[in-house]
Amino acid sequence: MSRLAIIAGQGGLPAALIAALTERPLVCALDGFAPEGVKIDQIFRVERLALFLRHLEDAGITQVIFAGAVQRPRLDPSLFDPQTAQMVPRLLAAMQSGDDATLREVIAIFEDAGFEVVGVESIAPALLPAAAVLAGTLTTQHEADATRAEAITTALGAVDVGQGCVVASGLCLAVEALPGTDAMLKSIAQMPENLRPKGGLFYKGAKPNQDRRIDLPTMGMDTLRLVAEAGLDGIAFQAGSVICLDLPEMTTYAEAHGLLLWAR
């Protein structure tokens, strides 16, 4: 019989996953990156990763899912156990190649330990909206801006930079990089009006060829509020590839504020 563990990070995704499951999983969190509104069963450190994997095995875990945001933790060499120390070279090599390579190596380590790594779409597909205009009115300008934004995001993703950008009247106003989506949208809100066209869309999509079991783009009410504060017309996102938290609330808010919410 399968038993699931959530390797939880910050944000609301771990809680949303738990709500979608019929049986509560074991909830584990990297030290310093606790999720919101979730009781944590086990906290672990990267320096003790081998011991943590053994704990999961002893607990009868057969499947794991990664959910939530984490940043690269500071490692304390004095805390490494001998088994984890043997994993360090492969992790460090992956880190030099970017986030995608690092996440793929993390998956490989868990798989090598005998665990099946599953993705959000396999256990909570409703969190990934299918193609539809969920709120607002779609215009030909929105369609053109979304096409332009998709091309930009695809190019960024190919070099492992980001998963989103903002386009207005064909002009790219900002791209998502290490500071993240919130920082990008706040920068748009502070941009002088004479430097930007009116309206525009925030676009979000998965990176080309990324492993869909980890790090799919995620957005929720905070994202939508920042889009409104930035004076944008709304959000276009890649249907079936972007996790939407609190989708009913997002739809209601978008309708009330005249925002486009489009699973493209």
Confidence of residue 94 (pLDDT cuts 50, 70, 90): confident
**What is the arithmetic mean of pLDDT over 227-248?**
97
Tell me the pairing of strands 164-168 and 132-135: unpaired
Q: How many helices (H) and strands (E) does the chain have?
A: 10, 13
Total number of domains constituting the chain: 2
pLDDT (0 to 100) of residue 178: 85
- My answer on whether 86 and 111 are in the same domain is yes
Map tokens 């460090």 to a residue.
92
- Give the domain CATH number at 184: 3.40.140.80
- My answer on whether 62 and 188 are in the same domain is no
Lowest-confidence pick of 54-58, 97-101, 196-200, 256-260:
97-101
Question: How high does pLDDT run on average in the chain?
Answer: 93
**What is the arithmetic mean of pLDDT over 225-245?**
97
**pLDDT over 80 at 99, yes or no:** no
Give the torsion sign (CA, 144, 236, 184, 191): positive
**pLDDT over 70 at 97, yes or no:** yes
Q: Name residues whose C-beta falls within 8 Å of residue 214's C-beta, 6 or more positions apart in sequence.
A: 66, 103, 106, 107, 117, 119
Lowest-confidence pick of 3-7, 213-217, 220-224:
213-217
Q: For the segment 63-89, what is each residue's pLDDT rounded down to a tens digit?
A: 999 999 888 778 888 888 899 888 888
pLDDT (0 to 100) of residue 89: 83
pLDDT (0 to 100) of residue 264: 97
pLDDT (0 to 100) of residue 134: 98
Identify whether the C-beta of residue 17 lies closer than 8 Å to the C-beta of residue 6: yes
Q: Position 239: which residue type?
A: A
Domain end among 69, 94, 123:
123
Lowest-confidence pick of 12-16, 28-32, 86-90, 127-131:
86-90
Domain enclosing residue 34, as ranges: 4-123
- My answer on whether 60 and 163 are in the same domain is no
Say if pTM beats, i.e. exceeds, 0.85. Answer: yes
pLDDT (0 to 100) of residue 260: 98
Q: What DSSP state is assigned to residue 169? A: T
